[in-house]
Amino acid sequence: MCLIALAWKAHPDSPLVVAANRDEWRARPTAPAIWWEGRPDLLAGRDLEAGGTWMGVTRGGRFCAVTNFRDPSGKRGTARSRGELVADFLSGIESPAAYCGMLARRAGDYNGFNLLAGAGGSLVYFGSREGEAREVEPGIHALSNHLLDEPWPKVHRAREAMAKAVAEGDESLFAMLSDTTPGRDGELPDTGVGLAWERRLSPALITGEDYGTRASTVMRMSATGRVRFEERTRDATGTVTDSRTFSFEIGR
């Protein structure tokens, strides 16, 4: 993922609401969200190149998502795929705190990343650049390719939209994920990719033939344990080309 907005224990009817865009090179082979073969309790899209995923949930109520930390100077071609961390947590039994606590020893195997892991009423954030796990405080948060709640333009707009939409229908969240408004030059970060790319990467929805938003996902966990997960696949223009919706009860 490259943008995740979430409401954590911010609304009594929906303890966890997530709206996220996955941005990726369009040539990278990908499977849309599905219950995984051999792991019928795990719902996620799949990176067909490395086998992991960017965001998923299980019938037991485990949730996990990852973004990369944008730093081209530190990128290594020999690093392990960050998507395997999400699949690993979703397939495991460790608590979010225990799993993220172990990541400090493993973080060096991967290029920079941010991970959100949730289960059993707990949501934990681990940023490889910070190197330590911390509980996510109840409230509205957003994450892109830096630290949690870093005030990038897209992060700021995503938090504002989530705060307004948490009690509304999911269409308002998809509208936020479809926003192509770029950040103003004076507000853009300098992550080492050059101004042209900073501009291109600044909207919530990124378009382009080579790289861009491949999928938008909204997930809502209700206080009664019902999960609704909808993924919309997008083409190079940002147009939705496919939509998949899943609903299930945690523990069933």
Distance of CA 193 to the CA centre of its chain: 21
- Is the pLDDT reported for residue 155 higher than 90? yes
CB 162 within 8 A of CB 174: no
- Is the pLDDT reported for residue 166 higher than 90? no
Report the SS3 class of residue 59.
Answer: coil
For residue 165, the model assigns a pLDDT of 87
- Is the pLDDT reported for residue 210 higher than 90? yes
For residue 145, the model assigns a pLDDT of 97
pLDDT tens for each residue of 241-250: 999 999 999 9
For residue 169, the model assigns a pLDDT of 80
d(CA 58, CA 91) in angstroms, rounded, equals 8
Whole-model pTM? Answer: 0.97
Question: Averaged over 159-167, what is the pLDDT?
Answer: 90
Q: Say which residues have a Cβ less than 8 Å from residue 145's Cβ, sequence separation at least 6.
A: 2, 67, 68, 69, 70, 114, 191, 201
For residue 121, the model assigns a pLDDT of 96
pLDDT tens for each residue of 103-149: 999 999 999 999 999 999 999 999 999 999 999 999 999 999 999 99
pLDDT tens for each residue of 36-93: 999 999 999 999 999 999 999 999 999 999 999 999 998 999 999 999 999 999 999 9
Please report the domains of the chain, with CATH numbers, ordered by start residue: 3-249 (3.60.60.10)
- Is the pLDDT reported for residue 168 higher than 90? no
For residue 41, the model assigns a pLDDT of 97
pLDDT averaged over every residue in the chain:
96
For residue 198, the model assigns a pLDDT of 97
